Chains A and B, each alone.
Chain A
Amino acid sequence: MGDMLEVFLNEARDLLEQLEAALLDLEKRPGDRELVNTTFRALHTLKGSGGMFGPPAMAAFAHELENAFEKVRQDRAPVTPNLVSLLLQSADQIRKLLFESAGDHSAESARLAAALAEEVGMDGTAAPAAASMVVASAAVAPAEATRTWRIRLALERSALAFGTNPLSLFDELRELGTLSVRADADALPALDALVPTEFHLVFHLDLETAAPRSAIEDVFIFVDGPDAVRIEDIAAAPASAPAPVAEPVAETVAPVASAPAAPASKAAAPTEARSGDVPRADAHVRVSASRLDTLLDQVGELVIAQARLSALARNRHDPVLIAVAEEIDRLSGDLRDSAMGMRMVPIEQLFGRYRRVVRDLSSDLGKEIDLSFSGEDTELDKTVLDRLGDPLVHIIRNSIDHGIESAERRDAAGKPKRGSLHLAARQVGTEVQIEIADDGAGLNRARILEKAVAAGVVADGTVPSDREIDELIFHPGLSTAAAVSNLSGRGVGMDVVKRTIGELHGTIDIDTRPGEGTRFVLRLPLTLAIIDGLEVAVGETHCILPLTSVEECVELATVQSRSSGGRNFVDIRGTLVPLLWAGEVFGGRREGAIVVVAQNDAGKLGIVVDQVVGQHQTVIKPLSPLHASIGGLVGSTILGDGSVALILDVNSLARHAAKTPAAADSLAA
């Protein structure tokens, strides 16, 4: 039962996200009825579940929100930007009440509730929650003496059809004492006029019980209709025969039937299903991340064992065994894809949250920002996504706070008044690339350099290159905000951003042009992957290249003979492909026999290896911290014969090779 709370908290998180998304859309389309309903439903469910599982402060607050928004739903109050702002703040408040339960948030709750009430024009505070109905147990108060009650029960015509079972009622009464039942069929129509589902009997019941009147009334709690139930106390003495019925004072069971039928004039029409296709609710299952981890580990082990099986089968030269091994290969590949798929979530989940961040920031800073996305369906491993959240927010905040200029400055510079921020994601080979681009003023290199010198990070008088100055923003202790603003200066710094991305074995690059804007490019390897790999041999070492990066393999001798500058470039069907000598990268000589033509960001790259061994599924095992920052390497794996192979990444190799001079003897880096 303890995880009931967890289910509720997860549900609340989802609801709050839905609520926010609906509110952000509602701000743009205030007349959209569907959005109003969606918003109301989210508030309603938060209130309902909150009342049952959440802290009382949260339930009470949610209640206020629902009340206020009810007016909007009934078209008695309009959707205004101020209302949306208040509701967004209220969503934050609910988060605090649920997830930061230490601390007193009552002042803020009261403020928001009052502001909302005023905004929608409500008078006074909402009615306090009425006491919920209690279904009394059949316990009899021992002190009371037994009394006899006469009960007249006249159920409505529709009672039976609507699920009331008189026999159940009688059983319940029997739990209270001795019951005798007499049915009165006077109202029964003639057989040919009788509709069998309609109910016409009237029951006269005599009940001897020591239970209080309220216990009897409780039995008939669901019985409705004026005059349906009449309960009358006949005599205190135990009666052996029912006393003749005196004119009963019509007593109806109190809370049930007395409410006059409220006019069904509320504006909100029930959300009937649209005629035609009613979409099924999305069938999703929540699975704990650690269970997925276990599953993935097991799939990984299976892939390795299956590789050993394949190797054995080939060695035995047994065609039947080989066929079975191939079948298992195919099946485990499918299993791998399914298991991988489970942990991958579209980056849309992250991007969606940023709409709120950008909206709040732009309103706080008085800058209008157009936020756009591309590649939102690019998928990332969930744990990577979770860790990216904060770094990306920080970069976005920086862009809006420092990068994008005020409307006046932009106007003066001939830029559109509204700044634009673009988030893009795409998968390239074994990497996911995420870009955050703004069309602001670019990095202020002069200011950065100034700060760096003042902080002693750069010696006075040195003239670093533009690229080096850009990289300085990642240096701890260098904050270029003139005033440490709430928004971007405190706590998280660009140095933490860089470190987090490093821990994810990724890189972050800056591309900035003064006056035009800044683009951050994050590259993250999909380290938790099982990929299709091409196994190659470089000297004694076996390596794996991700198959998605590989275009083709050609014999070095063939292409070399046709081209000029044969050591650094080769001509492949008219395209000049730069060569990367894997042997050299590994500290050996420029030797090799096969060119693996791979695709990276900058174009094609020909990786020269000694031999291509074959292709197979590869489980990427991450490198330990001792080897994690070696250029070109992205992981390791275990081959079918139990030996360890290195997994190479094309981009990483190219970057590494670019840094080291191409002399054969200077590769200790």
Chain B
Amino acid sequence: MTLAIDQAADPSLQDYLTVALGDDLFAIKVDLVHEVLDPPPVTRVPNAPNFAPGLVNVRGNVLPLVDLRVRFGMEPTADTASSRVIVSEVTREEGEPFQVAMRTDAVFEVIQVRRSDVAAMPENGSRWPMRFLDGVVRQDDRFVTLLDVSEVFRDA
């Protein structure tokens, strides 16, 4: 974890957890992330939405397993050694927040994002649904796309 020493003081800085889906890097706000774990066994749910194929048991709680690859229009793949599941909180406009278990191909580090460094998504260039995304930021020589988790899981 590469956290800058003076991060606590600056409100325009926000911590994000970077993850990989295929070749692309995405990031989720750290304060929404409850834990990161190895993929647990999945119980398939019949007639479920294609991006939420099943249920998992995380320390006694049953959470929906969400395949972010599918949500982003990629083909689902089998788990690899680097696959991880992120338990994240999803807030809603109406109703209580709920937790989901998001499957990702790999989890990397926590980065600090300065709000002013975030660029808007280019209108045409994006293959992904615009409403899921909160902007893009450069990290080293890669682009990291910021996710709006509550939008990702708002009913399609």
Q: Which residues of A contact B (CB under 8 A)?
A: 301, 304, 503, 540-542, 585-587, 621, 623-627, 630-633, 636-638, 642-646, 667-669
Contacts and interface: CB of A to CB of B under 8 A. Distances in A.
Interface in B12-45: 41, 43-45
11 contacts: A540-B44, A541-B44, A542-B43, A625-B92, A626-B100, A627-B48, A632-B47, A633-B45, A642-B57, A644-B56, A646-B55
A627 B47 CA distance: 9
A637 B155 CA distance: 24
Given A503-B95, A624-B100, A630 B47 contact: yes
Interface stretch (B59-67, B72-80, B111-119): B59-67
Contacts, number: 73
Of A632, A645, A646, the most chain B CB neighbours within 10 A belong to: A646
B98 interface: yes
Contacts of A304: 60
Contact of A627 (B56, B64, B95, B99): B64
A637 B41 contact: no
Contacts of A638: 57, 60, 62
A586 B64 contact: no
Contacts of B129: none
B55 A636 contact: yes
Interface residues of B, number: 25
Contacts of A623: 64
Given A624-B64, A627-B52, A636-B55, A669 B47 contact: yes
Contacts of A624: 63-64, 98-100
B153 interface: yes
A669 B100 CA distance: 22
Given A624-B64, A627-B52, 7 more contacts: A625-B153, A626-B153, A633-B45, A638-B57, A642-B57, A644-B57, A645-B43
Nearest to A642: B57
Interface in B89-117: 92, 95, 98-100
B122 interface: no
A631 B95 contact: no
B118 to A, nearest CB: 28
A656 to B, nearest CB: 8
Given A625-B98, A626-B66, A627-B52, A301 B60 contact: yes
Nearest to A538: B46
Contact of B95 (A586, A625, A632, A636): A625
A645 B55 CA distance: 9
Contacts of A625: 92, 95, 98, 153, 155
A530 B133 CA distance: 40
B64 A644 contact: no
B45 A643 contact: no
Contacts of A632: 46-47
Contacts of A637: 62
A645 B42 CA distance: 10
B63 to A, nearest CB: 7
Contacts of A644: 43, 55-57, 62
Pairs A-B, 8 closest by C-beta atoms: A586-B46, A644-B43, A626-B52, A636-B62, A644-B55, A624-B64, A621-B62, A626-B64
A626 B43 contact: no
A578 to B, nearest CB: 20
A483 B37 CA distance: 59
Contacts of B48: 626-627, 630
Nearest to A621: B62
Nearest to A667: B47
B47 A631 contact: yes
A573 B110 CA distance: 66
A623 B45 CA distance: 11
Nearest to B56: A644
Contacts of A627: 45, 48, 52, 55, 64
A633 B99 CA distance: 19
B49, B55, B153, B155: residue with the most chain A Cβ atoms closer than 10 Å: B55
A627 B45 CA distance: 8
Contacts of B61: 621
A497 to B, nearest CB: 15
Contacts of B63: 624
B56 to A, nearest CB: 7
Given A625-B155, A644-B55, A630 B60 contact: no
Contacts of A668: 47
A638 B60 CA distance: 7
A587 B46 contact: yes
A583 to B, nearest CB: 10
Contacts of B52: 626-627
Nearest to A625: B98
A541 B49 CA distance: 17
A652 to B, nearest CB: 12
A332 to B, nearest CB: 16
A463 to B, nearest CB: 30
B44 to A, nearest CB: 6
Nearest to A588: B46
A589 to B, nearest CB: 13
Contacts of B153: 625-626
B132 to A, nearest CB: 15
Nearest to A583: B46
Contact of B43 (A301, A541, A667): A541
Nearest to A499: B94
Nearest to A585: B46
A67 to B, nearest CB: 48
Contacts of A542: 43
A304 B62 CA distance: 12
B29 to A, nearest CB: 20
Contacts of B155: 625
Nearest to B49: A626
A60 B92 CA distance: 45
A635 B134 CA distance: 33
Contacts of A586: 44, 46-47
A643 B57 contact: yes
A626 B63 CA distance: 10
B119 to A, nearest CB: 31
Nearest to B154: A625
B31 to A, nearest CB: 20
A304 B48 CA distance: 25
Contacts of A636: 43, 55, 62
A221 B10 CA distance: 70
A541 B60 CA distance: 18
A36 B47 CA distance: 61
Given A624-B63, A625-B92, A626-B100, A643 B46 contact: no
A503 B153 CA distance: 17
